[in-house]
Each structure stands twice: as structure tokens, then as C-alpha cells.
Chains A and B, each alone.
Chain A
């Protein structure tokens, strides 16, 4: 018998806000334990939740990016269960009127194009973190992540393979990063995913027994987990190796197996009810239009435009539109210098190299596009040399600056002092007669050695073309 896998995903994405969803604590990743905590987010009585407007902005943005209908009145509800990482023993989430519903995400796999339906996107608070201490045999509670804003993106069970799941997650990541909703870093837990999976005979309209694997946070683990779980289900159906039950399972990526979980999530009734302390959030036209008008072009639209409008090759356009930060910088640079080819080159080679060296991703690029455009202009009009321009770029990675002013202050302007160049060349030739003889004997490399010495002596402030011509002239004279 042939089987098909039916998969629905719940994807949690931490929103890129400065502060938490209901209190003003920092939402930044990586602080010392319990440093980003206040009475509200460690469960003490008396403080009242006030919704962070930016959370609603980003929730709406995500909804629009995924073609959802935005609920113009959206409300918050409380969900109750006991667990030490949940300081109030309730989580504030959206149960009755989530910010966005009924969306659509297009994906592409080796089998072609497909649309995945989104059931809903809701805004909610994250839970804290537990660290297990073997010495004392206790668990230690850190509330830094408590109340950090999340959206949960719930898909319909429209996915049918690990490949589709990966394509879907990569598409979500690309769209959400593009719209600056989240940095979607799975390794830091800012994007994680629950996989709901069942298996049924191909063509059947009945769903099989569903199992859920929670908190998956790497694409490769998700692929392995789906493959394992699919095989386990098929084995159970075909060979009766075990009885499938609806349950939550934990994926152990080291063992390559899933295990039934004995935990909080199956503990029972969550008793959702509307939060009396949070008034309905009504999104009026001004608010709605403001968000709508600030949405970025979709990456593929941008890519097509970069190719047609700026004449970039597909490879270059692909790299640039892989990151919103690269696009912003590129567009800023082109607007300033009018030279798309150069701007693309600077970003794809020089900027990417520097990012790699700093172990940063493209999204972490902070170079100001206008400044990069100015730098490109200085190079193309011959004011500074390419080598020195790279030095300026390194400085621009540290902080935004005016390239012309920086070049002047640091003596990086190209010199037209032919007298000086002449003097340097003569000294170099006098100091290395062997190189001169080698060059005359047909060794091209010898010229490069002399050229390098001169350029070093001139501190790079020399048009390489001018230096080369003058150098050859001088050698020929000698």
C-alpha cells in the first residue's frame, strides 16, 4: 500500500521588539539570568499588562506578508497551566480573536509550486527557561524570556513531506526577515516549530492518528524527525508494531528517535478566557494603512526588478535579495551613486567578505547605503584608490561616517604629485637593479614587486594606472 504524510506546523517566532509584550523589560537575547525581569514577568501581584504597540505592528505585518485577513478587532486571552517556567501559571495569548487569519504561503519544491494555507497567526508571550543542575539535582528558573513577544503561525495540514516543510519554513523565514518581524534565528530559539504529523493510505480522505513533536529548532533535525516519524507511523499501520495514539512526542536528535512525553502539555484543560485587564485592540484605517504601506516588496519581486531595472545578473540579484539589510544598503547606495553594478560588487564581494570575517550574517550588515554610494562615487571619479576605499569600508562597518571627510582626515586622497611619484620610482629602481633586469628579461612578476614597493611608499595614494605607466617608462629609460 502507498501512504501519504499529512503535516501541519505551528511555528513560533520571537518578534524583533526592544521591550517585552506586556511590561517594559528588555526583550534582548543573551543577558545574565533573571536580569531582564520585573515584578510583572516574575509573577508578583499588582502590575497590569499594557500591550506593546510594536507587537501589534509586527503581528499585523506578519499577517499581511502571509496574505492573511487582519482582524480589525483583536483580543487577548489567558491560558492556565502550572509549570515553573510560567511565573503567573497562565500565559496571555490570543484564543478568540487572533490578529490574523486565513492566509496563504507559496512554496516551491522539486515537485513544483504549492500553496500552503495559514489558519491563523496569534500574538502571545514566551515562557521562561529551565536549567537542570546535576550537582544539586534541582531545576533553576530564568525568567528573562518570560513575556518576550511571540507570534505563532498555525498552518493547515497542507504539507506532505520533509522537503515541503523545509521549503515552507525557509519561505516564512525569508518573508519575516524581509519585513523585519523577527531575525528568525533557529539556533537562538527565535524561530521554533511544532510538527503535527499523521499518515494515511494515499487517496484516503480520513486523517490518521496525529502525533505532535514540540520545539524543533533546526531544519536538519526537523527533516530527520519527519522521516523517522513517518516511518514509525507506516510501520505501525502496516505491520502493527505498535498502537498509534494521539500524543506529544519529544525528538531526540542524538538518538535519532522520538519519545512519548510525560509532561505539562498533556496535563489537561487550559481553561482559556478573555483577559479582563486588556481592552480589545481596534485597528483603525490609519493604523492599518500605515502598516500596509510600510510592507517591503516580496524578495522575488525585488529580484526581478533588480534584474530588469538595474541590469543585474540573476546570481547577484539572488544574493542581494537574500537579505533585507543587503537590499536596503544596495538601494541606498544606488540612489546616491547611480551605479548599480558597482554597488552590487561592493556588497557581494567586499561587504560579504567583511561580514564573513566578523562571523556575521548578511542581516547584520549595518553599513549605511548612502555612505556606501558616496564611497563608490569617490572611487569612480578617481578621488581615492580602491585599496584605500576598502580601508574606509572597514571603518564604515564600525560606525557610519562621511567617506570623503574620513579620507581627507586620514590622508587617503589620491595624490597627483607626479614629482613625488617620480622620486619614489627612481629610488625603487636604484635599490633593486635585479628586478629591473628581470623585467627587461621578460619576467612580468618583477614589475609587480617594484609596483608594490612604490605603492607602499606612496601609502596607496596613487592612481595605480598612473603609477604603472610611469614605472614602465622609467624602467625603459634605465
Chain B
């Protein structure tokens, strides 16, 4: 039987869903995520869960309440570990802040973040709903495509979805093969640059026209996404209050103590910062200057991509700054995830599809994930 592992943002009846937070330790969902139902119906076996960072906003999962996974001082990810087992086809991951893309890039894996609204978010723990997407982490392009194809499709229970035919076409088809690629110049270390060079060489060898371009506007994506993501997160995690389910402090007499102590004791430092920042950008004082501004920047970015895709079929860019993160990186800058997402935020904030393979990232117009996967197959020299 073909096995699937779910990252712990997917709600399941059979196993607890924690979203990497002590707040949800042992939390049992009454229902399965739509993707779980679809994959089960398609004959996949749900083989278990992979831990995620608290509410999936960190680098690669290091903020999970269960502890940071490392190997020789380097951060590792539970989802990548799961794929060391050959019988596992893929790990279903919620891409909120680019973590699965960084994991793919740093572990020689493939990740597809499909077009926003082609895979149901019903039954995923909500964080930044305007941009987060359910994707597939796998060892190769073929597995990635197969699993995506099994789970994409319209769902009436998610009010942000495209018509079924569009969802299916995006996952399965490739109407327009990639012939012209824009390479976005971005800073990264020597190893990542080498991977980008290799990708470019492979494209050229396959007759794909590449053009190096400056796209300064994309540098606004990170800051704008941090604003939108934290604001939505602040609102979405305000439901965790120690009353209905989940963690409740032992230490309270009043309702405010119940709220504050339950949240303070069970939430981690990065999450707390994100909540406070998200609350601040939504305040009456800052709404127009920050939140509304970020919503407008989102359109600026969507239009910038639109212009790019008038001339090119896809863009090539890094997915992270270096091939591995260390514990020291996070100690020195606890907010490193909110800077490393400069590579992933452009596709997050616009909902465009992205594929990471061979250590690099491809971003294309809406519904082009089929074509991006074909292109990625060339890069990793995988037969169709």
C-alpha cells in the first residue's frame, strides 16, 4: 500500500493534531482534513504524522513544543526524516511561511505548493488563510505529481476554491510547456548560487531561454507577508484560550488569569512575537499605514508577476539563503524565519504555484504547477 505522512497541521480523527504547540497537546479532531479523505479514497494509507514548528511559521520546524530536531548541530525536519522511509510516497504539508520549501531545498527533496484554491484547506489548522496552501513534499517529481493529483479538486466546504476542472487541470495538465525563464537576482551563499547555476545550465542545455532580471519589487514581499501573516495568525490563534479544549493553566482564579496564563504558558516565543506584531499592525492607529498598505503591496506584487509572465513562462529563484541552518543561526536571530522568507514570500503572498527541486525554486503563473513540475523534472534529470 502507498503510504502518506501528514504534517501536524492536518487535522485527523485517528491521531492527535498539535500544530507543534503545547496549546494543542493531545488535541483530537472530530473530523479528518479533506485531503486526508481524498487520499484515503484514492487508496493511500495514512502512515502517521510529522511534527511541525509552532503553527508552521518558523524555518524548518525548530519551534515545535516537542523540541528542536538536529543532526550535528544542523536543524533537521521531521517531514524530511519521514521520507527516508522508502515506502512513504509523500508528506502533506501546509505551506504558511515557506518551511516545506526550505525543507525540500535543503534535503534534496521536491515540494509543490499548488495554486491557491486548488487544494482544499478544510481541516487544516488555520494560520494565514489568505496565502497558506496544502502541498506535497516527496522524493521525486513523479511522486509529487501523483499525490497532488489525488488531492486537488473543488471542495464545497472551502469557500475560496476554484471550479473542479481548473483545480484538476492545474494538478494534472501542462498546457503550455516552459520555454522562457526569468532568473531573479537574489543574494544567497555560494552553495545555493552553485545550485542556481546548475539549474540554469540544465535549462540552457534543454533549449530553454533564460534571462537574468532585477525584480526589486519582490523584496517588498517579505515585509508585506510578515504583516499579513502575523495579523491573520493573531486572529486565528485567538481561539486558543483554555476554555473549550486544549491547554488550560493550573494557575488561575479569574477569567483573565485563565486566558493569560493558559496562553502564556503554552505558546512559544516566536509565536508570541508574531501575535503581538500582528495585533499591532491591525490596530486602529496602524491599520492604514501597515495592514492596508500590505494589502495594496500584495496587488503591486501580483501585477508585477503578471507583467513578468507576459514575457516569461516561469521564474527561477532561490528557496533559502544556505543549504542548512544551525542551532546558532536561530539563537543569534530568533526571528530568522521572518527574514529567510524573502525567497518564499513572493509566492505566498500572491498565491502563485511554486515548485522546489534540485535546491532551487520555480514560480509560475496561476495553474502552471503541471508545467513547473515538468521543468523541475528536467532540472533533476528525472524521466517523465
A-side interface residues toward B, CB under 8 Å? 39, 42-51, 78, 80, 82, 84, 87-90, 139, 141, 269, 271-274, 276-279
Q: Which residues of A contact B236 (CB under 8 A)?
A: 45
When the two chains form their complex, are residues A46 and B241 in contact, meaning their CB atoms are under 8 A apart?
A: no
Q: Which of B33, B121, B259, B283 contacts A271, CB < 8 Å? A: B283
When the two chains form their complex, are residues A43 and B244 in contact, meaning their CB atoms are under 8 A apart?
A: yes
* B348 interface residue per 8 A CB criterion: no
B-side interface residues toward A, CB under 8 Å? 11, 19, 29-31, 33, 121-126, 129-130, 156-160, 231-232, 234-236, 238-239, 241, 243-245, 255, 259, 279, 282-284, 287, 291, 295
When the two chains form their complex, are residues B157 and A50 in contact, meaning their CB atoms are under 8 A apart?
A: yes
Minimum C-beta distance from A312 to chain B (A): 49
Q: Which residues of A contact B232 (CB under 8 A)?
A: 273, 276
Minimum C-beta distance from A350 to chain B (A): 48
Q: Which of B19, B30, B259, B295 contacts A44, CB < 8 Å? A: B30
When the two chains form their complex, are residues B130 and A82 in contact, meaning their CB atoms are under 8 A apart?
A: no
Minimum C-beta distance from B184 to chain A (A): 26
Q: Which of A88, A273, A276 contacts B282, CB < 8 Å? A: A273
Q: Which residues of B contact A88 (CB under 8 A)?
A: 238-239
Distance A276 CA – B124 CA, assembled complex (angstroms): 15
Q: Which residues of A contact B241 (CB under 8 A)?
A: 43, 82, 89
When the two chains form their complex, are residues A269 and B244 in contact, meaning their CB atoms are under 8 A apart?
A: no
Q: Which residues of B contact A89 (CB under 8 A)?
A: 238-239, 241
Q: Which residues of A contact B245 (CB under 8 A)?
A: 43-44
Distance A277 CA – B291 CA, assembled complex (angstroms): 17
Q: Which of B11, B160, B255, B284 contacts A84, CB < 8 Å? A: B255
When the two chains form their complex, are residues B124 and A46 in contact, meaning their CB atoms are under 8 A apart?
A: yes
Q: Which residues of A contact B130 (CB under 8 A)?
A: 276
Q: Please indicate which of the listed interface residues A43, A45, A278 has the most CB atoms of chain B within 10 Å of its own CB.
A: A45
When the two chains form their complex, are residues B243 and A39 in contact, meaning their CB atoms are under 8 A apart?
A: no
Q: Which residues of B contact A50 (CB under 8 A)?
A: 156-157, 159
Distance A45 CA – B124 CA, assembled complex (angstroms): 7
When the two chains form their complex, are residues B126 and A80 in contact, meaning their CB atoms are under 8 A apart?
A: no
Q: Which residues of A contact B125 (CB under 8 A)?
A: 45-46
When the two chains form their complex, are residues A271 and B279 in contact, meaning their CB atoms are under 8 A apart?
A: yes
When the two chains form their complex, are residues A44 and B159 in contact, meaning their CB atoms are under 8 A apart?
A: no
Nearest residue, chain B, Cβ from A81: B238
When the two chains form their complex, are residues A273 and B159 in contact, meaning their CB atoms are under 8 A apart?
A: no
Distance A87 CA – B254 CA, assembled complex (angstroms): 18
Minimum C-beta distance from A58 to chain B (A): 19
Closest 7 CB pairs of A and B: A276-B130, A89-B238, A271-B282, A43-B239, A88-B239, A276-B129, A46-B11
When the two chains form their complex, are residues B235 and A273 in contact, meaning their CB atoms are under 8 A apart?
A: yes
Q: Which residues of B contact A141 (CB under 8 A)?
A: 243
Nearest residue, chain B, Cβ from A139: B255
6 CB < 8 A contacts A-B: A45-B239, A46-B11, A46-B29, A48-B160, A141-B243, A278-B159
Q: Which of B19, B124, B259 contacts A82, CB < 8 Å? A: B259
Distance A43 CA – B243 CA, assembled complex (angstroms): 10
Nearest residue, chain A, Cβ from B258: A84
Distance A89 CA – B157 CA, assembled complex (angstroms): 22
Nearest residue, chain B, Cβ from A90: B235
Q: Please indicate which of the listed interface residues A51, A89, A90 has the most CB atoms of chain B within 10 Å of its own CB.
A: A89
Q: Which residues of A contact B259 (CB under 8 A)?
A: 82
Nearest residue, chain B, Cβ from A277: B129
Given the known inter-chain contacts A277-B129, A277-B159, A277-B160, please indicate yes or no for A46 contacting B122, CB distance below 8 A: yes
Q: Which residues of B contact A87 (CB under 8 A)?
A: 239, 243-244
Q: Which of B30, B122, B283 contacts A48, CB < 8 Å? A: B122
When the two chains form their complex, are residues B160 and A273 in contact, meaning their CB atoms are under 8 A apart?
A: no
Q: Which residues of B contact A278 (CB under 8 A)?
A: 159
When the two chains form their complex, are residues B238 and A82 in contact, meaning their CB atoms are under 8 A apart?
A: yes
Q: Which residues of B contact A49 (CB under 8 A)?
A: 159
Beyond A90-B239, A273-B231, A273-B291, list 18 extra A-B contacts (CB 8 Å). A43-B239, A45-B239, A47-B31, A48-B126, A48-B158, A48-B160, A80-B234, A87-B239, A89-B238, A89-B241, A141-B243, A269-B284, A271-B279, A271-B282, A271-B283, A277-B129, A277-B160, A279-B160
When the two chains form their complex, are residues A271 and B157 in contact, meaning their CB atoms are under 8 A apart?
A: no
Minimum C-beta distance from A130 to chain B (A): 10
Distance A130 CA – B97 CA, assembled complex (angstroms): 38
Nearest residue, chain A, Cβ from B263: A82
Q: Which residues of A contact B160 (CB under 8 A)?
A: 48, 276-277, 279
Q: Which residues of A contact B124 (CB under 8 A)?
A: 46
Q: Which residues of B contact A46 (CB under 8 A)?
A: 11, 29, 31, 33, 122-126
Q: Which residues of A contact B291 (CB under 8 A)?
A: 273
Nearest residue, chain A, Cβ from B11: A46
Given the known inter-chain contacts A39-B30, A42-B244, A84-B243, please indicate yes or no for A48 contacting B235, CB distance below 8 A: no
Q: Which residues of B contact A44 (CB under 8 A)?
A: 29-30, 239, 244-245
Distance A279 CA – B291 CA, assembled complex (angstroms): 18
Nearest residue, chain B, Cβ from A82: B259
Q: Please indicate which of the listed interface residues B159, B160, B284 has the most CB atoms of chain A within 10 Å of its own CB.
A: B159
Distance A50 CA – B33 CA, assembled complex (angstroms): 16
Distance A43 CA – B240 CA, assembled complex (angstroms): 8
When the two chains form their complex, are residues A48 and B121 in contact, meaning their CB atoms are under 8 A apart?
A: yes
Q: Which residues of B contact A80 (CB under 8 A)?
A: 234-235, 238, 279, 282
Distance A221 CA – B109 CA, assembled complex (angstroms): 68
Q: Which residues of A contact B282 (CB under 8 A)?
A: 80, 269, 271-273
Nearest residue, chain B, Cβ from A138: B255
When the two chains form their complex, are residues B238 and A45 in contact, meaning their CB atoms are under 8 A apart?
A: no
Distance A347 CA – B11 CA, assembled complex (angstroms): 57
Minimum C-beta distance from A290 to chain B (A): 22
Distance A279 CA – B235 CA, assembled complex (angstroms): 18
When the two chains form their complex, are residues B33 and A78 in contact, meaning their CB atoms are under 8 A apart?
A: no
Distance A278 CA – B126 CA, assembled complex (angstroms): 14
Nearest residue, chain B, Cβ from A274: B295
Minimum C-beta distance from B17 to chain A (A): 8
When the two chains form their complex, are residues A48 and B157 in contact, meaning their CB atoms are under 8 A apart?
A: yes
Q: Which residues of A contact B235 (CB under 8 A)?
A: 78, 80, 90, 271, 273
Distance A129 CA – B235 CA, assembled complex (angstroms): 22
Q: Which residues of A contact B284 (CB under 8 A)?
A: 269, 271
Q: Which of A43, A51, A269, A279 contacts B283, CB < 8 Å? A: A269
Q: Which residues of A contact B123 (CB under 8 A)?
A: 46-47
Q: Which residues of A contact B255 (CB under 8 A)?
A: 84, 139
Minimum C-beta distance from A92 to chain B (A): 10
Minimum C-beta distance from B166 to chain A (A): 15
Minimum C-beta distance from A266 to chain B (A): 14
Q: Which residues of A contact B234 (CB under 8 A)?
A: 80, 271
Q: Which residues of A contact B243 (CB under 8 A)?
A: 43, 84, 87, 141
Nearest residue, chain B, Cβ from A51: B159
Minimum C-beta distance from B293 to chain A (A): 13
Q: Which residues of A contact B231 (CB under 8 A)?
A: 271, 273
Nearest residue, chain A, Cβ from B10: A46
